[in-house]
Structure 1
Amino acid sequence: MRLRLWWTGLALTAVILLSSCGPESSAGSEQMSYKDVKSMVIDILGSQEAQEALDKASTEKYGTSSLHAQSLTPSDQEQIRTAVKDVLTSSNYSKVLREIMTDTKFAGEFAKAVSKDNKQIHKDLLKDPTYQQELVNVFKTGDMKTVLFETTKTAEYRKQMMSAVSEAIQNPVFKLELMKILQDVVKEELTPKPSQSKGESGGGGESGGQSGGDGGGDQQSGGGGQ
């Protein structure tokens, strides 16, 4: 901004000098009015040559173009925020926004620009107990269950799952954990359960008692015959 004011003052000085250094024949003529001087300065600053000179001078002094180095004032920032909010919340622009967001090139650039912020937002949300509960509730809904179930039946999903399982099996740590689980399962199956042992012994006692009772009955039948 200071550089632009300096150039404006320089252009104004040049105009005044040029207007005051005319030939003697025009000495008696009427001097240029303020309006004429202002119009001339605006024309000079608006010319392509002046813009290039300003940009070149700014680049040489600050290392960047003045057109890109200008910082927004708080008032400008507030106006931009208000304008963006009005556009996003207005129903008149909803169709335009949908068309913009569905544009492949714009969507890709926009995703890259907000990717880092979105990742951090998701990380923070996953730590929030309320968000976690809401996420669980979403997955419990019938529509979500249907979507997940249909997804598991697709060939691409199964291919990804098989690839993930194959990679996991090749992992030594996973192999060790899997072997421990298999050993525990085999050991549990081979160990007789207490309920089954009691049932078998109880069944044997009932069989012995029934046999003894049958033998006693036979003896009584023999005594009666005598």
Structure 2
Amino acid sequence: MRMRNYTFAVIMSLSFILATLSGCAQTEAQQNTDYEGTKKMVIDLLKTDEGKKALHELIAQEDMREEIVMDSAFVKQTIQDTLTSDEGKKYWQEVMKDPEFAKAFAESMQAENEKIIKSLMKDPDYQQMMMDILKDPQMGEQALELMKSKEYREQIMGIMSEALESPYFAAKMAGLMNEAIEKQSKDSEDNSNE
């Protein structure tokens, strides 16, 4: 009886091993078919309401969001793809029409933009390009046209009014005027003594 149980156990073990080995011996084509089938099944599942809900719940978890944000290469590539796509460009054009968003966006970028401009100002190539632009006769004509415009004059008048209302500016102007008066009276004394 024992021998029979032992023989039965050995036969069952060998059968299990053979079944496992035959399962592992699938061809590469069968494995690819299984992969494509699994991939299609996962995509189909994600498109269902339950799949979308499961994804939302997964993303809502704090640790998952942190992990996604921490993968900066992924985030960088996603942002780049989004910004450079046609849909992304249309989206940003629409969003920038909102004055509050545009203001907040500009303020968030201001420090970085100032750094870039300051570093460019020290760059000899950039300085030369700016000089070339300023020397261009067409640029001079445009600047002159701008200065003749009503809007520009109103802007200058506004700046001057604000400056005159400043106590610091008023004190500085008074000092300069006193110096000019003293110089003029000294010059007129010198002329009368001659």
Q: Identify the residue that residue 41 of structure 2 maps to in structure 1.
A: 44
CA offsets 1:86-128 (integer angstroms, 9 cap, x no match)? x9xxxxxxxx9xxx69x9437769x848945444311221233
Q: Over aligned residue pairs, what C-alpha RMSD do you find?
A: 4.5
Structure 2 CA distance for aligned equivalents of residues 173 and 72 of structure 1: 48
TM-score (norm 1): 0.46
Superposition deviation, residue 41 in structure 1: 2.5
Q: Identify the residue that residue 124 of structure 1 maps to in structure 2.
A: 119
Change (3 A) 1:167 1:104: same
Whether the 8 Å contact between 1:55 and 1:65 is mirrored in structure 2 is no
Percent of aligned pairs sharing the same letter: 20
CA offsets 1:121-173 (integer angstroms, 9 cap, x no match)? 11221233553454244323322221111111111111111111011011111
Structure 1 CA distance for aligned equivalents of residues 51 and 72 of structure 2: 20
Q: Identify the residue that residue 94 of structure 2 maps to in structure 1.
A: 105
Q: Identify the residue that residue 15 of structure 2 maps to in structure 1.
A: none
Aligned residues: 146
Structure 1 CA distance for aligned equivalents of residues 109 and 63 of structure 2: 31
AA partner of residue 165 (structure 1): M
Q: Identify the residue that residue 177 of structure 2 maps to in structure 1.
A: 182
Higher relative contact order (CA 8 A, sep 6+): 1
Asked if residue 63 in structure 1 is aligned to residue 60 in structure 2, the reply is no
CA offsets 1:11-67 (integer angstroms, 9 cap, x no match)? xxxxxxxxxxxxxxxxxxxxxx7676545423421222474376256334843399x
Change (3 A) 1:137 1:188: farther
Asked if residue 146 in structure 1 is aligned to residue 141 in structure 2, the reply is yes
5+ residue gaps in structure 2?
1-29
Of Structure 1 and Structure 2, the greater helix share is in 2
Structure 1 CA distance for aligned equivalents of residues 191 and 117 of structure 2: 52
CA offsets 1:180-208 (integer angstroms, 9 cap, x no match)? 1111211222223698468x5xxxxxxxx
Q: How does 1:1-226 map to 2 (within 5 A)?
A: 37-38=34-35, 40-47=37-44, 48-49=47-48, 51-52=51-52, 55=55, 58-59=58-59, 60=61, 62-64=63-65, 71=71, 104-105=93-94, 112=105, 115-116=109-110, 117-192=112-187, 196=191
Which one has a bigger Cα radius of gyration?
1
Change (3 A) 1:56 1:173: closer
TM-score (norm 2): 0.52
AA partner of residue 181 (structure 2): V
